[in-house]
Amino acid sequence: MNNVKRDLRFDTPLYSLTEAARYLDVPATTFSSWAKGYVRRSVGRQPVTGAPVLSSVSAERGAGVPFIALAEGMVLAAIRKTGVPMQRIRPALLALQETLGIEYALASERLFSDGAELLYDFADSQPKAERDQTMELVVLRNGQRVFTEVVSDYLQRIEYADDGYASLLHLPGYERRQVVADPTRSFGQPMFVRGGAKVADVMDRFHAGESLDDLADDFGVPIEDLEDALRVASRRAA
């Protein structure tokens, strides 16, 4: 495996499992299974197990999820939206990481550039059931294999550093793409691009009764971005 320069993206736990799940708009139990793996038992059958698919998640309570695992989770959240079962995808993800020959393949820019072709090639070598479902992530466009629209949309929300690994996430659910997670600012907590305020701070003051106009003036966040964040918060609270 290639050596990765160690920095806070990889080594510093910033999020709890619950926070990470909320920021990616997936159930907490789903994110936990990605981070810790799972064992499912049913009467009269052998247990079904799944290994963790996220990197560097601490088993300790509290903040155990580094930024790089949040980035990996964002890719898995995109796959989840396609409806392809994760048990079908896990072998493909392992093969992808081995083929790329790098750590943190899901958080790598090479996933965006080469991943669709590699996944297609892997799927083409599998039994029919696995092949058909894995290929649902890939479409043919202009003679090239590319990710389906939902996966591509999520990947385009990821910005990469010079080392080729994720450095900033435009979090899913926000139509205007103006809420980001940046590990170098506000301890990676969601913040508005314009104005730089933490989303939680703005929402706290809104729920305390302040108007959007006042919040826009105080924090320098456009009202359209505030309304977008409120829509996301209301949907997730429902």
Find the mean pLDDT for residues 174-194.
96
CA distance 99 to 104: 12
Task: Check if the beta carbon of residue 73 is closer than 8 Å to that of residue 14.
Answer: no
Report helix, strand or coil for 174. Answer: coil
pLDDT tens-digit series, residues 1-11: 455 456 899 98
CB contact set of 234 (below 8 Å; sequence gap of 6+): none
pLDDT for the residue 63: 78
Q: What is the pLDDT of residue 169?
A: 98
Residue 220 pLDDT > 60: yes
Task: Inform me whether the pLDDT recorded for 70 exceeds 70.
Answer: yes
Average pLDDT over residues 98-103: 82
* Residue ranges with strand state E in the chain: 13-15, 38-40, 48-50, 65-66, 138-141, 144-147, 158-160, 166-170, 179-181, 191-192
Q: What is the Cα–Cα distance from 150 to 33, expressed in whole angstroms? A: 22
pLDDT at 60: 65
**pLDDT tens, residue by residue, 75-87:** 999 999 998 888 7
- The phi and psi torsions of 194 (rounded to 5 degrees) equal -90, 120
Give the up-direction half-sphere exposure of residue 2: CA atoms within 13 A in the CB hemisphere. Answer: 15
| Tens digit of each residue's pLDDT (9 = 90 or more) over 14-65 | 999 999 999 999 999 999 999 988 887 777 777 777 788 898 787 666 779 9
Domain boundaries, the chain: 173-238
Measured CA to CA in angstroms, residue 129 lies from 23, 88, 132, 193, 207 at distances of: 32, 9, 5, 43, 49
- Whether the pLDDT of residue 92 is over 70: the answer is yes
- Average pLDDT value over all residues in the chain: 89
99: alpha, beta or left? (left if phi > 0; alpha if psi -120 to 50) = alpha
pTM of the model: 0.88
Tell me: pLDDT of 110 over 80: yes
- State both tokens at 85: 């079962």
Of 119 and 26, the structure prediction assigns the larger pLDDT to 26
